[in-house]
């Protein structure tokens, strides 16, 4: 039995218990009163016991069981409690197309019983009471069945709503993690790579003058401070109020980014128009340039880098670097993956192409002046 079925049976248990308790009393009373019709007591007892034995079969064969109970009710008043209880049980568990024939069989059976067995009421009142009782039992059982179906549906809807909410929370959490990971890569990775290359130059370049050492140390200090500021920005992504975040970088911040690279010893050229871009588009342009510079510094230190932003039926962003020295090792590739997602969300395209003399990062973003 399913949990739903067991819940549906519980509300009818007290009713059935009362009916079955009264059934035993009415069986003997009906059997004794049947002596007036000349029916032996033993036959009434057998018919009453047979009616009670049919009740469990109403669960598997409700229509057949109801017809048999109606037939037994026509033969003996000892079957009356079982027949009336059977009407309620079937109405409680089965649709009306099954419960109504069972109720009609019980009504007809009791009507036939009143024709040849003595009853305590005139025949007309007996038939009226018989129909009223079975109609009440039929309606009561149908109401309970409908209520159970509605309760089950509400529970199913609540479970579906909980599952949908859990899925939405998981999707939102996954999207937030992806966004945080992308922000960490786009900001912290750039700063830390600059720190690593500059610190490496201080470690291995023993021929640097005090002025150059001081300049490199200044780059390390500035990059460390910027890394801390970027970390605060990433942590700020988790805050409830986005207005606490600092303004996102854009096209106007590219000269400062290139100046930082030059201060670290890189040879970088920049060609970019003065445009008023939307915040998301400007951020995408900045991140493409930042990723290209970070990859050039990581994989080809010392190589010259060319950064070009141009209007080409949209915006074309190219970061091209030549061959350089020994890099810091292979990366995970997550930066390009996140950058590709960022560009494609804006309707653009991104390609990263190795060249015989270096590497090229090329992005196109839709934009209308």
pTM above 0.85, yes or no: no
CA dist., res. 70 & res. 104, Å (int):
8
pLDDT on residue 41 = 72
pLDDT on residue 261 = 83
pLDDT on residue 8 = 45
Per residue in 296-342, pLDDT tens? 888 787 788 999 999 888 899 999 988 776 555 555 556 778 788 88
Residue 283 near residue 306 (C-beta atoms within 8 A): no
pLDDT on residue 301 = 79
pLDDT on residue 187 = 65
Residue 102 near residue 66 (C-beta atoms within 8 A): yes
Low-confidence ranges of the chain (pLDDT < 70): 1-39, 120, 176, 180-191, 195, 200-206, 221, 225, 227-247, 325-334
* Residue 353, phi-psi category: left (phi > 0), alpha (psi -120 to 50), beta (remainder): beta
List of domains in the chain: 3-163 (no CATH), 250-369 (3.30.565.10)
């Amino acid at each position: 039995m399913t949990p739903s079925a067991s819940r549906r049976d519980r509300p009818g248990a007290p009713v059935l218990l009362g009916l079955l308790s009264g059934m035993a009393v009415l069986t003997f009373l009906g059997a004794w009163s049947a002596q007036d019709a000349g029916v032996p007591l033993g036959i009434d007892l057998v018919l009453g016991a047979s009616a009670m034995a049919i009740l469990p079969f109403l669960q598997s064969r409700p229509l057949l069981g109801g017809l048999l109970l109606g037939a037994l009710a026509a033969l003996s008043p000892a079957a009356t409690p079982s027949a009336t209880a059977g009407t309620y049980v079937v109405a409680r568990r089965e649709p009306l197309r099954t419960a109504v024939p069972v109720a009609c069989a019980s009504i007809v059976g009791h009507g036939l019983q009143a024709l040849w067995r003595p009853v305590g009421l005139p025949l007309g009142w007996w038939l009226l009471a018989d129909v009223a009782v079975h109609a009440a039992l039929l309606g009561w059982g149908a109401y309970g069945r409908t209520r159970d179906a509605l309760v089950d549906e509400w529970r199913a809807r609540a479970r579906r709503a909980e599952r949908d909410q859990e899925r939405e929370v998981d999707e939102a959490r996954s999207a937030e993690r992806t966004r945080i990971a992308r922000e960490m890569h786009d900001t912290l990775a750039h700063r830390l790579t600059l720190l690593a290359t500059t610190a490496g130059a201080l470690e291995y370049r023993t021929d640097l003058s005090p002025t150059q050492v001081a300049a490199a140390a200044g780059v390390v200090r500035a990059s460390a401070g910027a890394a801390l500021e970027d970390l605060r920005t990433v942590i700020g992504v988790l805050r409830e109020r986005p207005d606490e975040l600092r303004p996102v970088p854009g096209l106007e911040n590219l000269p400062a980014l290139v100046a930082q690279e030059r201060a670290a010893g890189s040879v970088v050229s920049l060609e970019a128009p003065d445009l008023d871009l939307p915040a998301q588009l400007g951020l995408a342009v900045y991140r493409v340039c930042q990723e290209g510079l970070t990859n050039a510094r990581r994989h080809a230190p010392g190589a010259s880098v060319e950064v070009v932003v141009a209007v080409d039926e949209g915006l074309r962003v190219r970061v091209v670097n030549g061959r350089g020295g020994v890099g810091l090792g292979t990366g995970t590739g997550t930066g390009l993956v996140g950058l590709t997602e960022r560009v494609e969300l804006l309707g653009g395209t991104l390609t990263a192409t190795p060249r015989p003399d270096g590497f090229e990062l090329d992005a196109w973003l839709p934009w209308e002046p």
